[in-house]
């Protein structure tokens, strides 16, 4: 029998991302055993039924002793708590990875939490939906997606390669990046758009009296622009807390750009306004 990439994988948190990883690992035969770990036994059972994991447990320490890969895919703070709990039980050379949306703070904390001989590799698959839970998980979620893997001077090379291999095998393109560079980039491409979408929706909230009419004229533009505003509030609060500096910098730049457009509209400067719109069109073409 060909040796698998991992013998035993424990996935902490089997929602959309954790569940999809489990499904993709099982589908591609990347481990002998995939264990789902979590707090809610009902949700864990759903993950077994969905085919995301082989077995499940709510006992954080029981199954990790002989695991060679731990995937933390809960919310940021919960993942950190779980790491603290299991740290003393992990075997030598076990690899710990995550799927969190912010990396700098988390990587630093993991460095402190995990003892020597346990290797942490931060990862962030850029694939998500505004819906949550194992019900919407699927084995193809990462197919064609980008997964950022963070690399520092302390990252163990062997562990890095194994985590890279895992993401490649489930169909993702891997990009290496420092944790701080990652956080700067996603502040602009993910966190800022999210905050803008939340404000675009919340601005409508003050117009209760025209609710019915608003509903009628909402088009695809609004639907798409604000889709991400339906994501998990708890998760986004944690993202803001753990990438505060970069998000505030991005927000300041965004406000400056809005102020410029406000001024051009107020002054009816059609030439410069058209130029701003053309600029957006060409930058978007370059980036997407």
**80 binds a copy of itself per the rule CB under 8 A:** no
Provide, rounded to whole angstroms, the least separation between the CB of residue 14 and a copy of itself: 22
Q: Which of these ranges, 81-89, 110-118, 160-168, 245-253, lies near a copy of itself under the rule CB under 8 A? A: 245-253
In whole angstroms, the minimum distance from the beta carbon of 82 to a copy of itself comes to: 20
Q: Looking at 42, 88, 112, 266, which residue binds a copy of itself (CB under 8 A)?
A: 266
Secondary structure E strands in 154-222? 173-177
Chain-centroid distance, C-alpha 237: 13
CB of 194 to a copy of itself, least distance (A): 7
- For the chain, strand residue ranges (E) read 6-12, 31-37, 55-57, 69-72, 95-98, 119-121, 123-125, 146-150, 173-177
Residues 17-56 that bind a copy of itself (CB under 8 A): none
CB atoms within 10 A of CB 126: 16
> Of the ranges 57-65, 135-143, 161-169, 175-183, which one interacts with a copy of itself (CB under 8 A)?
175-183
* Residue 88 touching a copy of itself (CB under 8 A): no
Q: Minimum CB separation from a copy of itself for residue 209, in Å?
A: 11
The sign of the CA dihedral 263, 269, 272, 274 is positive
State which of residues 85, 109, 169, 244 lies at the interface with a copy of itself (CB under 8 A).
244
**Closest Cα partner for 60 from 10, 116, 115?**
10
228: contact with a copy of itself by CB under 8 A: yes
Residues 134-163 interacting with a copy of itself (rule: CB under 8 A)? 145-146, 148
Retrieve residue 126's tokens. Answer: 């850029």
Decide: 135 and 108 in contact? Cβ < 8 Å: no
Give the binding-site size for a copy of itself (rule: CB under 8 A).
92
For 58-190, strand residue ranges (E) read: 69-72, 95-98, 119-121, 123-125, 146-150, 173-177
Instruction: Say whether residue 196 binds a copy of itself (CB under 8 A).
Output: yes
Closest to a copy of itself by CB, 39 or 227: 227
230 contacts a copy of itself (rule: CB under 8 A): yes
């Amino acid at each position: 029998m060909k040796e698998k990439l991992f013998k035993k994988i424990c996935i902490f948190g089997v929602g959309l991302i954790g569940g999809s990883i489990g499904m993709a690992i099982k589908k591609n035969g990347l481990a002998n055993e995939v264990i789902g770990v979590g707090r809610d036994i009902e949700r864990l059972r759903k993950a077994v039924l969905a085919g995301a994991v082989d077995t499940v447990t709510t006992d954080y320490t029981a199954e990790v002793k002989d695991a060679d890969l731990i995937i933390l895919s809960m919310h940021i703070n919960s993942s950190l708590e779980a790491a603290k709990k299991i740290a003393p039980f992990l075997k030598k050379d076990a690899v710990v990875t995550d799927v969190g949306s912010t990396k700098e703070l988390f990587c630093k904390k993991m460095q402190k939490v995990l003892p020597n001989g346990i290797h942490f590799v931060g990862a962030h698959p850029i694939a998500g939906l505004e819906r949550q839970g194992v019900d919407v998980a699927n084995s193809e979620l990462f197919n064609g997606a980008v997964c950022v893997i963070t690399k520092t001077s302390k990252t163990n090379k062997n562990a890095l390669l194994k985590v890279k291999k895992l993401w490649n095998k489930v169909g993702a393109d891997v990009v290496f990046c420092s944790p701080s560079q990652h956080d700067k980039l996603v502040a602009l491409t993910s966190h800022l758009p999210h905050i803008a979408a939340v404000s675009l929706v919340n601005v409508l909230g003050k117009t209760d009296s025209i609710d019915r009419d608003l509903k009628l004229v909402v088009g695809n533009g609004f639907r798409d622009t604000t889709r991400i505003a339906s994501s998990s509030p708890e998760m986004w609060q944690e993202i803001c807390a753990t990438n505060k500096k970069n998000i505030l910098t991005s927000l300041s730049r965004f406000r400056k750009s809005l102020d410029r457009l406000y001024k051009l509209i107020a002054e009816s400067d059609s030439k410069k306004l058209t130029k701003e719109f053309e600029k957006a069109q060409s930058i978007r073409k370059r980036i997407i």
